[in-house]
Amino acid sequence: MKTNRVSLKLKTLLISTVLASCIDGTRKNSPELFVHPDLQIDYTKKPKSKGVGYVKSVELSDTLKVNLVEKGEFLFEMKCAACHKLTDQRLVGPGWAGITNSRRPEWIMNMITNTEQMLERDEEARKQLEDCLTRMPSMQISLEEARSILEFMRQNDMSQVGHKDDALQN
């Protein structure tokens, strides 16, 4: 019985020593997470790209069109909310907060309606794919529906970040 106690004490001492040796008392901060420079995307840049697709120009009014916002919100809930949040947090795809401040409206609509071609031929879309690692599926969204989603994104930017359409400022 005395041997069991000594054995238990030795095991406890050995485990304590091993655990203590794993602690680095000199390190104050954990190392920074390394991100390859090619994968660092500056979402505050205002790209001039309109993307690849049928949408060449979009006319926007300063005031939001309520009927389009409502339809866009419905479409977001039905087709987009599974992968995108309205905040800046990424779910599967990037969060939507600030999207109209960093992407031109034509680019947004082309990404929604012409996803495959955008991912193949548009540099910004490819960078975003490298960041998110998941291809956006085609949701079979018409140009009219994409315009409604864009209007909802503009309204979301007003409520999330306080301004919209900064990507139009060159």
Q: What is the pLDDT of residue 167?
A: 84
pLDDT of residue 7: 72
pLDDT band at residue 5 under the 50/70/90 scheme = low
Answer positive or negative: Cα dihedral of 49, 55, 60, 64. negative
Instruction: Determine whether 36 is exposed, middle or buried from the number of CB atoms within 10 Å of its CB (0-12, 13-18, 19+).
Output: exposed
What is the average pLDDT score of the chain?
A: 84
Average pLDDT over residues 52-70: 96
Q: Is the pLDDT of residue 27 over 70?
A: no
| 3-class secondary structure, 117 | helix
- HSE (CB half, 13 Å, CA atoms) of 61? 6
Rounded to whole angstroms, the Cα distance separating 100 from 127 reads: 17
- For residue 9, pLDDT over 80 is answered with no
d(CA 100, CA 166): 7
**Distances from the Cα of 85 to the Cα of 4, 100, 107, 141, 142, angstroms:** 59, 15, 19, 19, 21
Q: Provide the sign of the torsion angle of the four alpha carbons 90, 92, 98, 101, taken in this order.
A: positive
State yes or no: pLDDT of 109 exceeds 90. Answer: yes
pLDDT at res. 46:
53
Indicate if the pLDDT at residue 32 is higher than 90: no
Residue 26, pLDDT above cutoff 70:
no
168 has pLDDT over 50: yes
Q: Can you give the pLDDT at residue 60?
A: 95
Q: How far apart are CA 117 and CA 111, in angstroms?
A: 9
Pick the closest to residue 127 from 149, 103, 151, 147 (CA basis): 103
Tell me yes or no: is domain 37-168 CATH 1.10.760.10: yes
